[in-house]
Amino acid sequence: MKFTNHLRRGGSLFVIITYDIGEKRITKVRKIIRKYLFWVQNSVFEGEITEGKLQKCINEIKKVIIEEEDSIFVYKIYGNGRFEKKIIGLEKSVNDEFI
C-alpha cells in the first residue's frame, strides 16, 4: 500500500468529486470536470482548486445533469482543517440489490 501525503498544506483547497450519473450524461460531465481536476478513478476526480474555479465547474455540471437522477458529491478539504461535503442531486445512489 502506497502512503501518499502529497497534499500541500496551508491555504489551498483540495477537492474530491465522486459521482453516479446516467449513461447519456456521463461523458459530458467528465469532460467538464477534466478541465479542473485530475481523473483518478472511473467515478472520482481530485485535485487542488480555488473556490472560484470550483464554483465555475459546479455551475457547468448543473447545466448538464438531471438532479432527480444523478448524484454528485463534492468533498472539500481546506488547508486549515475545515472539511465540507456538498451534494448535487441525489443524496444517496446505490444499487442495494448488488449485496
Grid cell 449485496 — which residue?
99
Least distance (Å) between residue 36 CB and its own copies: 14
C-alpha cell at 97: 440489490
Query: For its own copies, which residue of 12, 26, 60, 64 counts as binding (CB under 8 A)?
Result: 26
What residues contact 29, with CB distance under 8 A and at least 6 apart?
19, 21, 61, 64, 65, 70, 72
Interaction site with its own copies (CB under 8 A): 1-7, 14, 16, 18-20, 26-27, 30-31, 34, 39-44, 46, 58, 62, 71, 73, 75, 77, 79-88, 91-95, 98-99
